[in-house]
Amino acid sequence: MTKYNIREKREKDAAYRHLLSPALANELKERIIDIIVKQKKYKDKDYSARQLAADLSTNTRYISAVVNLKFQMNYSSYVNKYRIKEAMAMLKNPRYKSYSMEEISSMVGFSNRQSFYAAFYKINQMSPRDYKITELELLKESTPPLGDEPVPGDGSVS
């Protein structure tokens, strides 16, 4: 059994992919990026491929086909990629140091801790907690302690 129940990706050829013209696929790709990424719909726990399809006046098979063809992943992986990217930024930001994993998970759009941990581990091969500890340690090491640098005009010689 693998950690966090992550299964190997199975390759399969969807029969409906040939129904998409390249022009339609490119148009849908741009519109998906606009909604999911630019409008940050990935943060909405309840925003599904079905809702995206409705917003784009198409069907979920086309959404699935475009995401598979243009991004080489399924819809959930595509959305989770942006959630994890945002979670990573939050975890290494001292401003969010006191936030729990559940709070960060919820803020980036996951509906439960387990799916957050599984998605995070799948992308980073480490838990969010381990990532946070590592990143905050690196930040601490790279930040010079106050008082180590001479203050201009204080008479110190460099």
Q: Which amino acid is it at 40? A: K
The one-letter amino acid code at 145 reads P
Q: How confident is the model at residue 79 (pLDDT cuts 50, 70, 90)?
A: very high
Q: According to the model, what pLDDT value does residue 16 have?
A: 61
CA 126 – CA 117 distance, rounded (Å)? 9
| Residue boundaries of the structural domains of the chain | 17-72, 78-142
Provide the pLDDT confidence category of residue 142 given band limits of 50, 70 and 90.
Answer: confident
Reported as a pLDDT band with limits 50, 70 and 90, residue 54 is very high
78-142 CATH: 1.10.10.60
Q: Which two tokens stand for residue 125?
A: 């091969």
Residue 114 has pLDDT above 80, yes or no: yes
- Contact partners, residue 87, CB within 8 Å, separation at least 6: 104, 105, 108, 116, 120, 128
Give the whole-number percent of the chain exceeding pLDDT 70.
79
Inter-residue contact 139 to 128 (CB < 8 Å) = no
This prediction has a pTM of 0.80
Convert 94-145 into a string of H (helix), E (strand) and C (coil). HHHCCCCHHHHHHHCCCCCHHHHHHHHHHHHCCCHHHHHHHHHHHHHHHCCC
